[in-house]
């Protein structure tokens, strides 16, 4: 559910451009610099920028552009040397610790911790003060505090390698430990090390400038950007051309480095948008009527992942939306509530009572969430804040729902816990989530969702990661609740058989569309769409995680959806020519049961699907 | 017989008993008048209101102000402590706490007549006992051995009330000049120490009394009981600002009223130009009295005379001076600037890189690529510089790069080695260099102060040029019994230095001061250590 | 009650032991490094007296005696340690004054600069970081993000130069130094606070995004929990943890920043004192500075750990 990889890659490239420019300038300085950067021309002292000297000259008549280019070279060489030392030292220490474990690992960790707490520039200052100047000492001074991140990377890799079954297997096969080390672990380190190194470049350039300020930088006459800034200082109000270019060069390289760092730090994070704090719109009354979702579409970075989905749930009814992971079933239920990545574009209608959740902006969605629509998300344990007790969470939910007078929250919380069948609710209110079993967590989640006495309850894979007995119990609980409270239930599941036991209706979702929908009994007993048949034929083992490939279906290809074609065509045993050029619309099979397929195997042939 | 006597009366008139000396002094004066560029910030406004506080920036931190010790900056000390003899324009000796003095014919005793009616800031009278107590605090002590006076004075005697006699080991002409230095010859109240003789408070006889001092700030108030010309302003406040540009900004923004000098709060040549363009600020150039030069280490590769000569010819000192000092210094040809006593006549030092190449070729240094080689040995000179930021006029980094580039033209490779300050001075001391920038001290120390330290003494420390020949001549000058002998010895020494291409003079640089709009009547002081504010008034 | 007291005492004892260890090790390292470095205070003192580098062995030896620099390095260190534990940090070779007196003048200067900068940077950095995630307008979010990153990408001294030229010399708005009273603190504090604001804002922004991506935040959202409640109860502990983890970096940054602003803005604090001491090989002063730095560093790190434990019960178990 993150933005497209292409967008991120593009941004990464843009971020990296100044770094690339820096490397190029440094590498090509001897070729492209118009002048010798250290040759004086005292007659041309402090010349303004001109065609002859594009960036002017300094006090000794040296060409600033050439000095800027060679300055990049100096920083680049130094950065390369510092990185070479830091990476080597870091990888050796980290790998040794991670690979050997035990006391070497503890020593390595301790060294990393200690080094990381030292102020690196003060250390550099001390080293240069004591060991004297010169490039070798600069490298030493900067590497001394530069290695821990690399050690950390290496250690992480080697620890996981040592603990992996793969490693044991290789050892059993007779591979020597060191061969494994070199052939398997080190190559895998190259990419993250490279990434971190590009981040370090910025720090090194900035450190070098600071050391120049203290007179400890690269010795003259070699140009260095920080030193150029210092030399230009007396001319700040008379010859700005001396001071600006090196300053901008440093800023560009360091900024690029930092941007890159952040890009990687936040790479796989969805952008979650919280509403601005505001008074909530009150939306009481007018509960009657079904919840209707029409022509719902969700797109990320221009790519449609949900494309024209319709479904409806009446009060007291249950709809199951089934499909493989990535079919869009979760998106199509959470999007109307504004619970998906903020970069998504959502269109269509989602009408609850008289209100269109997609027509009124975030305020409406917020007002509905937790009060008129309750949601139970996947992974109950993760959905409970680990640092808060069950009671605190429930009390909050009850308070925000505003269904009981202030001060009575705890009583209501206990009531809810009883309602979801949690044993000994009085003692469980003070428990932290990590002390509860998976089934108990799920019950708590359901209790939380019920706090607002919602008209609709959306349960997203409520039983995944639970054992079979607990699965059945949770399903039974949901079915009970639907009846006793009279709310609509939307169940999202990959398990069509289980869904059929609870739901009145089933909608089958594939590649962002609903391909078959109808009364649960009909869909299960007389499936029309080849995909539905595939789902039914698959016998997911109880332990299979959601998204496990179905035995009878060929594996899903990376969805590169053609604009007009049946999305299922690449995997469909019945596909005809037409399927590849035209998209099938939903057509009635029996009253209330529709399916989107050109071939209509039900109609054309007797039931009996011959799989691949 | 009185050999030399200067008296209190008519201090503007010179009553000389030593014609040669007087002539020399006159010559110096003439040179000064001719070469004087500017002094005095516009017209002295005699109707200006007195009083007010003058704020002065200072580059270095203060230590305790014990005049007989050397801790931190000492520019405040001469305002508080006075000496028996004072250094006037062009090295003329003027009466201070002594009204007159006589040097015996054999030069072995000096008798001082002490000034009467002088009181220290704590009202302790200044008398012969106080004077002797002060001299006894430093004369003959090891930590003052750098000063010839401390070794040469054999005894301090009190022949009578308000009389003081110094007995010397041997006759030493610059002795009286040395007694004009504030540290250690300044006089402090005997009550300024605790029972164990440890310094407690800076109490002198000078025109200013020290009100408060920390490492980084000091304030002084006028001593209304001062015996001489009393200052017109009430207070002077010093604040330490180590960064030269920050001092300049502070002056331009009106946070301080004054900065300048070679060491007090030096202004760089570029900054002087910038300040000159600011109409709020007046820039004053004193006499160029300090020589910037390039010194060689004889014990290394620069022991080869051909190399030294080539370096002399390879440097275009006119252009260098123009670029490095923004046209405000003069290209130098001699060891001492023309205003310094016994400086000698200008030399001819043409810029001729071809001549430099010919000399090197003739000496067997063959050009190979960009550099030169002789018997498989590369011609590389290591130029030691301090890595810390430029101090005032000497931007070593910049100068080093200019020198390296110019010498590179004739095939001499210069390896610039920037080291931190502590290492730099250690390296100079230990002779770990081939080339180094050096400066003379300027008034009041020169010539004797510089030549003692740089032309004589321990050979391990290369100084400027230490050979038996030159040391003999310098000793001959220092211990000369008459001015003619002294002058001859000095001139002969200069001739040897010139013959040997012993060093490369680069520029005579002035002491530059800058004052804010409120300051009237300030004149560039004669020496760095004589911060005379008696003529200054403030108009805010 | 009693148990609490015992626990408190035990904690304090452990902290004291750790501090003693850190101070011991750093002072030993610093002493060794400086003693082995080229250049020595005795030569410098002799040269300072003479006014020229050419000093005799006698003069250097006498200075060495006065500075108490006789004996082997371990001997000298033990002697120093003996005095130091009695609270006597010796006399500065450069100024001849007791180091403690000098520190008493210097430390408050740096502390007030860094303290003011922290007071400015903490709320501002957190605000900018939070806004960079929460603002509804994308260009504004991007702008804040870039500003935050740019703030940590500029050389501190260059920013200082530009500020002085524009604000003092050309506009005459602000004084350059502490002599200007409170106004003299504006520029150095801004320069010190700038990278801290940048760093903090990014740390807050990234950790906030991380926190908001937690399933329990989405679950809270799904329950209709108000934004304020989500931020305070669900996101803040995570963000606060990340901020506390960067305290060490920020203190280190303030120290190096202090070296710059104390020079450029003529605030004579401990950063500047340290640089001068190193340039003089003023061992007593260097040792005192190193002790101060180590103390400040360890103390803030421990404090941050303690606070982190308070906020997140999972951390305090260690
Ligand atoms: S339309 Fe064609 S490809 Fe699509 S499901 Fe039906 S038969 Fe298969």
Ligand 1: which of A595, A599, A601 to mutate, most ligand atoms within 8 Å of CB?
A: A599
What is the secondary structure of B19-83 as a DSSP string? HHHHHHHHHHHHHHHHH----SSS---TT-----EEEEEESS-B----TTS--BB-SSHHHH-B-
Residue A566 Cβ < 6 Å to ligand 1:
yes
Q: How far apart are CA A606 and CA B13, in angstroms?
A: 136
Q: Which atom of ligand 1 is nearest to the CA of A578?
A: 2
SS3 A424: coil
CB A149 within 8 A of CB A156: no
The sign of the torsion formed by the CA atoms of A365, A370, A374, A378 equals: positive
Q: How far apart are CA C238 and CA C229, in angstroms?
A: 14
Alpha-carbon distance B278 to nearest alpha carbon in chain A (angstroms): 11
Q: Which atom of ligand 1 is nearest to the CA of A600?
A: 6
A589 Cα: distance to centroid of ligand 1 (angstroms): 15
Listed as ranges, residues in chain A with pLDDT below 50 are: 1-4, 284-285, 539-552, 555, 557-558, 604-612
Q: Please state, in angstroms and as integers, the Cα–Cα distance from residue A517 to each residue in A309, A552, A587, following that order.
A: 11, 21, 10
Torsion angle of alpha carbons A479, A483, A485, A487, nearest 10°?
80
For B95, residues 6+ apart whose C-beta sits below 8 A from its C-beta are B6, B7, B8, B11, B85, B86, B115
How crowded is residue A505: how many other Cβ atoms within 10 Å of its Cβ?
Answer: 23
Query: If residue B165 lies in a helix (H) or strand (E), which one and from where to where?
Result: strand B163-168
The answer to whether the Cβ–Cβ distance between A221 and B404 falls below 8 Å is yes
Please tell me which chains touch B, using 3 or more CB pairs under 8 Å as the contact test: A, C
What is the reported pTM? 0.79
Q: How far apart are CA C257 and CA C275, in angstroms?
A: 13
Query: What's the pLDDT at B130?
Result: 93
The answer to whether the Cβ–Cβ distance between A277 and C214 falls below 8 Å is no
CB A378 within 8 A of CB A461: yes
CB B211 within 8 A of CB B221: yes
Q: Which atom of ligand 1 is nearest to the CA of A579?
A: 2
The CA-based angle B85-B86-B87, given to 5 degrees, is 130
For B213, residues 6+ apart whose C-beta sits below 8 A from its C-beta are B62, B65, B76, B202, B219
The answer to whether the Cβ–Cβ distance between C97 and B71 falls below 8 Å is yes
Q: How far apart are CA A283 and CA A372, in angstroms?
A: 9
Residue A599 Cβ < 6 Å to ligand 1:
yes
SS3 B512: strand
HSE, side-chain direction, 13 A CA sphere, residue A23: 11
> What is the domain class of B36-59+207-281+516-540 according to CATH?
alpha beta
Query: If residue B121 lies in a helix (H) or strand (E), which one and from where to where?
Result: none
Sort out which chain A residues have CB atoms less than 8 A from C315's CB and list them: none
CB B402 within 8 A of CB B435: no
What is the secondary structure of A10-72 as a DSSP string? HHHHHHHHHHHHHHHHHHHHHHH-SS-TT---GGGTTPPS-SSSTT-B-TT--BHHHHHHHHH
The sign of the torsion formed by the CA atoms of B89, B91, B97, B102 equals: negative
Query: What's the pLDDT at A539?
Result: 47
Residue A510 Cβ < 6 Å to ligand 1:
no
Query: What's the pLDDT at C53?
Result: 63
The shortest CB-CB distance from A274 to any of C134, C162, C251 is to C134
Quick check: B406 contacting A, CB < 8 Å?
A: yes
Q: Which of A345, A335, A336 is nearest to A4 (CA)?
A: A345
The answer to whether the Cβ–Cβ distance between B241 and C177 falls below 8 Å is yes
Place of tokens 């934004």: C227
Ligand 1: which of A587, A598, A601 to mutate, most ligand atoms within 8 Å of CB?
A: A598
Q: Which atom of ligand 1 is nearest to the CA of A531?
A: 5
The answer to whether the Cβ–Cβ distance between A215 and B319 falls below 8 Å is no
The answer to whether the Cβ–Cβ distance between A130 and C170 falls below 8 Å is no
What is the secondary structure of C257-303 as a DSSP string? HHHHHHHHTT---HHHHHHHHHHHT-HHHHHHHHHHHHHHHHHHHHH
The answer to whether the Cβ–Cβ distance between A42 and B387 falls below 8 Å is no
CATH of domain B2-16+67-200: 3.40.190.10
Query: What's the pLDDT at B403?
Result: 92
CB C84 within 8 A of CB C160: no
Listed as ranges, residues in chain B with pLDDT below 50 are: 1-49
A563 Cα: distance to centroid of ligand 1 (angstroms): 15
CB A1 within 8 A of CB A270: yes
The answer to whether the Cβ–Cβ distance between C264 and B69 falls below 8 Å is no
Radius of gyration for chain A, computed over Cα atoms and rounded to the nearest angstrom: 32
SS3 A213: helix
Annotate B237-262 with b (16+ C-beta within 10 A) or e (fewer): bbbbbbbbbbbbbbbbbbbbbbbbbb
Query: What's the pLDDT at B71?
Result: 75
Query: What's the pLDDT at B282?
Result: 92
Query: What's the pLDDT at B423?
Result: 81
Annotate A15-40 with b (16+ C-beta within 10 A) or e (fewer): bbebbeebbebbeebeeebebebbeb
Q: How far apart are CA B9 and CA A600, in angstroms?
A: 131
The sign of the torsion formed by the CA atoms of A306, A312, A315, A320 equals: negative
Residue A511 Cβ < 6 Å to ligand 1:
no
Residue A553 Cβ < 6 Å to ligand 1:
no
Q: How far apart are CA A512 and CA A583, in angstroms?
A: 13
Annotate A209-242 with b (16+ C-beta within 10 A) or e (fewer): bbbbbbbbbbbbbbbbbbbbbbbbbbbbeebebb
Alpha-carbon distance B47 to nearest alpha carbon in chain C (angstroms): 30
Ligand 1: which of A568, A570, A578, A602 to mutate, most ligand atoms within 8 Å of CB?
A: A568
Identify the bridge partners of residue B183 per DSSP, sorted by sequence position. Answer: none
Q: Which atom of ligand 1 is nearest to the CA of A566?
A: 4
The residues of chain B that CATH labels 3.40.190.10 are 2-16+67-200, 36-59+207-281+516-540
Alpha-carbon distance C59 to nearest alpha carbon in chain A (angstroms): 24
User: How long a stretch of residues is chain B?
Assistant: 540
Residue A245 Cβ < 6 Å to ligand 1:
no
Question: Which structural domains are found in chain C, ordered by start?
Answer: 2-84 (no CATH), 99-311 (1.10.3720.10)
> Considering only B212-221, C102-111, C167-176, which range has the smallest mean pLDDT?
C167-176
- B 409-428 → C contacts, CB under 8 A: 419-428
Angle between helices A64-100 and A148-163 (to 10 degrees): 30
The answer to whether the Cβ–Cβ distance between C43 and B428 falls below 8 Å is no
Sort out which chain A residues have CB atoms less than 8 A from C209's CB and list them: 266, 269, 271-272
Q: Which atom of ligand 1 is nearest to the CA of A574?
A: 7
CATH of domain B288-510: 3.10.105.10
SS3 B154: strand
Alpha-carbon distance C288 to nearest alpha carbon in chain B (angstroms): 16
Q: How far apart are CA A534 and CA A267, in angstroms?
A: 35
CB A260 within 8 A of CB A199: yes
Query: What's the pLDDT at C312?
Result: 63
Ligand 1: which of A513, A556, A576 to mutate, most ligand atoms within 8 Å of CB?
A: A576
Residue A567 Cβ < 6 Å to ligand 1:
no
């Amino acid at each position: 559910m993150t933005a497209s990889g292409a967008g991120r890659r593009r941004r990464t490239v843009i971020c990296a451009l100044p770094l690339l420019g820096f490397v190029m300038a440094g590498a090509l300085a001897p070729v492209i610099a118009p002048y010798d950067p250290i040759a004086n021309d005292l007659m041309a002292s402090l010349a303004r920028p001109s065609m002859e000297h594009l960036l002017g000259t300094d006090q000794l008549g040296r060409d600033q552009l050439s000095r800027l280019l060679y300055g990049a070279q100096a920083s680049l060489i130094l950065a390369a040397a510092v990185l070479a030392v830091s990476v080597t030292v870091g990888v050796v220490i980290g790998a040794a610790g991670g690979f050997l474990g035990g006391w070497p690992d503890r020593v390595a960790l301790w060294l990393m911790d200690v080094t990381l707490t030292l102020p690196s520039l003060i250390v550099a200052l001390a080293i240069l003060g004591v060991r004297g100047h010169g490039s070798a000492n600069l490298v030493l001074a900067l590497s001394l505090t530069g290695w821990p991140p690399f050690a950390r990377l290496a250690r992480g890799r080697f620890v996981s390698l040592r603990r992996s079954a793969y490693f044991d297997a290789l050892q059993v096969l007779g591979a020597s430990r060191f061969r494994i080390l070199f052939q398997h672990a080190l190559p895998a380190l190259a990419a993250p090390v490279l990434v971190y190194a590009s981040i370090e470049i910025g720090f090194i350039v900035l450190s070098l400038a600071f050391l120049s300020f203290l007179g400890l930088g690269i010795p003259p006459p070699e140009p260095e950007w920080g030193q150029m800034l210092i030399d230009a200082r007396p001319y700040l109000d008379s010859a700005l051309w001396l001071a600006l270019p090196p300053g901008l060069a440093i800023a560009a390289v360091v900024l690029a480095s930092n941007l890159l760092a952040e890009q990687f730090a936040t790479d796989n994070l969805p952008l979650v948008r919280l509403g601005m704090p505001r008074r909530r719109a009150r939306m009481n009354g007018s509960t009657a009527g079904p919840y209707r979702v029409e022509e719902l579409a969700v797109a990320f970075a221009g790519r449609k992942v949900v494309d024209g989905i319709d479904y409806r749930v009446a009060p007291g009814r249950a709809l199951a939306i089934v499909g493989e992971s990535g079919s869009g079933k979760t998106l199509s239920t959470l999007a109307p509530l504004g619970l998906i990545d903020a970069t998504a574009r959502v269109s269509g209608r989602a009408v609850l009572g008289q209100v269109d959740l997609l027509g009124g902006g975030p305020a409406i969605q917020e007002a509905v969430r937790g009060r008129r629509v309750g949601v139970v998300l996947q992974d109950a344990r993760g959905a409970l804040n680990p640092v808060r007790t069950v009671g605190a969470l429930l009390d909050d939910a009850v308070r925000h729902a505003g269904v009981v007078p202030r001060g009575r929250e705890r009583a209501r919380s206990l009531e809810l816990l009883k309602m979801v069948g949690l044993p000994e609710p009085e003692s469980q209110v003070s428990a932290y989530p990590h002390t509860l079993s998976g089934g108990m967590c799920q019950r708590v989640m359901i209790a939380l969702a019920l706090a607002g006495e919602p008209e609709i309850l959306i349960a997203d894979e409520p039983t995944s990661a639970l054992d079979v007995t607990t699965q059945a119990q949770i399903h039974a609980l949901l079915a009970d609740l639907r009846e006793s409270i009279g709310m609509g239930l939307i169940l999202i599941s990959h398990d069509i058989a289980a869904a059929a036991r609870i739901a009145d209706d089933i909608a089958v979702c594939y590649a962002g569309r609903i391909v078959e929908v109808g009364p649960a009994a009909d869909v299960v007993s007389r499936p029309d769409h080849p995909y539905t048949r595939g789902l039914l034929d698959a016998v997911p083992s109880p332990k299979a995680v959601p998204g496990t490939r179905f035995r009878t279906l060929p594996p899903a290809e990376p969805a590169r959806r053609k604009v007009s074609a049946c999305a299922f065509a690449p995997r469909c045993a019945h596909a005809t020519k037409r399927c590849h050029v035209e998209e099938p619309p939903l057509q009635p099979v029996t009253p209330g049961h529709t399916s989107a397929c050109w071939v209509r195997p039900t109609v054309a042939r007797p039931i009996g699907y011959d799989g691949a | 017989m009185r050999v030399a006597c200067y008296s209190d009366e008519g201090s503007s008139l010179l009553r000389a008993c030593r014609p040669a000396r007087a002539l020399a002094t006159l010559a110096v004066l003439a040179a000064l008048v001719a070469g004087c560029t500017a002094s005095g910030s516009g017209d002295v406004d005699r109707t200006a209101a007195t009083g007010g506080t003058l704020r002065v920036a200072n580059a270095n931190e203060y230590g305790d102000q014990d005049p007989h010790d050397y801790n931190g900056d000492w520019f405040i000390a001469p305002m508080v402590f006075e000496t028996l003899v004072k250094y006037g324009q062009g090295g003329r000796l003027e009466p201070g706490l002594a009204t007159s003095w006589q040097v015996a014919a054999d030069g072995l005793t000096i008798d001082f007549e002490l000034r009467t009616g002088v009181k220290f800031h704590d009202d302790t009278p200044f008398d012969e006992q106080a004077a002797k107590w002060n001299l006894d605090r430093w004369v003959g002590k090891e930590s003052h051995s750098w000063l010839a006076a401390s070794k040469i004075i054999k005894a301090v005697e009190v022949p009578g009330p308000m009389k003081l006699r110094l007995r010397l080991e041997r006759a030493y002409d610059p002795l009286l000049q040395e007694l004009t230095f504030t540290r250690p010859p300044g006089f402090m109240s005997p009550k300024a120490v605790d029972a164990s003789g440890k310094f407690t408070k800076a109490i002198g006889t000078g025109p200013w009394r020290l009100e408060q001092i920390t490492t980084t700030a000091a304030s002084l108030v006028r001593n209304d009981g001062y015996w001489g010309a009393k200052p017109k302003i009430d207070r002077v406040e010093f604040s330490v600002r180590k960064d030269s540009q920050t001092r300049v900004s502070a002056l331009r923004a009106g946070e301080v009223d004054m900065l300048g000098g070679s060491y007090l709060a030096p202004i760089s040549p570029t900054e002087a130009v910038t300040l000159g363009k600011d109409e709020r600020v007046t820039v004053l150039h004193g006499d160029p009295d300090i020589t910037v030069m390039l010194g060689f280490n004889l014990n290394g590769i620069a022991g080869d005379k051909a190399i030294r000569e080539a370096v002399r010819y390879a440097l275009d000192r006119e252009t260098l001076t123009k670029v490095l000092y923004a046209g405000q210094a003069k290209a130098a040809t001699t060891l001492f600037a023309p205003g310094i006593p016994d400086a000698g006549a200008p030399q001819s030092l043409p810029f001729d890189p071809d001549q430099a190449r010919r000399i090197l070729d003739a000496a067997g240094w063959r050009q190979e690529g960009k550099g030169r080689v002789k018997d498989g040995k590369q011609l590389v000179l290591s130029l030691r510089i301090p890595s810390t930021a430029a101090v005032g006029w000497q931007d070593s980094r910049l100068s080093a790069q200019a020198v390296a580039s110019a010498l590179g033209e004739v095939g001499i490779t210069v390896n610039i080695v920037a080291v931190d300050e502590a290492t730099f001075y250690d390296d100079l001391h230990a002779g770990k260099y081939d080339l180094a920038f050096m400066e003379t001290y300027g008034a009041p120390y020169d010539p004797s102060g510089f030549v003692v330290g740089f032309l004589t003494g321990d050979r391990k420390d290369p100084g400027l040029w230490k050979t038996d020949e030159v040391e003999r001549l310098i000793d001959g000058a220092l211990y000369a019994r008459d001015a003619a002998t002294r002058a001859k010895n000095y001139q002969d020494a200069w001739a040897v230095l010139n013959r040997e291409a012993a060093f490369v003079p680069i520029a005579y640089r002035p002491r530059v001061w800058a004052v804010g709009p409120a300051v009237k009547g300030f004149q560039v002081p004669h020496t760095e250590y004589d911060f005379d504010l008696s003529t200054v008034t403030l108009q805010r | 009650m009693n148990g609490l007291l015992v626990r408190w005492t035990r904690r304090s004892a452990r902290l004291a032991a750790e501090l003693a260890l850190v101070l011991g090790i750093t002072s030993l390292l610093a002493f060794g490094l400086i003693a082995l470095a080229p250049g020595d205070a005795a030569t410098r003192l002799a040269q300072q007296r003479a006014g020229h580098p050419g000093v005799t062995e006698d003069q250097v030896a006498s200075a060495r005696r006065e500075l108490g620099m006789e004996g082997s390095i371990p001997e000298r260190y033990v002697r120093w340690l003996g005095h130091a534990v009695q609270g006597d940090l010796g006399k500065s070779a450069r100024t001849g004054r007791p180091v403690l007196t000098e520190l008493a003048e210097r430390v408050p200067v740096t502390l007030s600069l860094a303290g003011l900068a922290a007071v400015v940077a903490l709320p501002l950095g957190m605000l900018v970081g939070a806004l960079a995630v929460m603002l509804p307008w994308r260009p504004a979010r991007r702008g804040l993000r870039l500003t935050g990153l740019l703030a940590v990408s500029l050389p501190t001294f260059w920013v200082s130069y530009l500020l002085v030229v524009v604000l003092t010399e050309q506009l005459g708005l602000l004084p350059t130094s502490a002599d200007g009273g409170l106004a003299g603190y504006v520029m150095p504090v801004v320069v010190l606070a700038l990278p801290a604001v940048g760093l903090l804002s990014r740390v807050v922004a990234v950790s906030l995004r991380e926190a908001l991506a937690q399933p329990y935040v989405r679950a809270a959202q799904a329950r209709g929990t108000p934004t304020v409640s989500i931020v305070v109860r669900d996101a803040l502990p995570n963000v606060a943890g990340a901020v506390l983890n960067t305290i060490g970096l920020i203190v280190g940054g303030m120290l190096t920043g202090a070296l710059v602003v104390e020079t450029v803005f003529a605030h004579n604090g401990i950063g500047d004192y340290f640089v001068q001491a190193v340039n003089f090989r003023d061992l007593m002063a260097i040792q005192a500075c190193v002790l101060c730095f180590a103390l400040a560093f360890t103390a803030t790190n421990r404090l941050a750990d303690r606070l982190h434990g308070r906020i997140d019960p999972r951390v305090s178990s260690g």
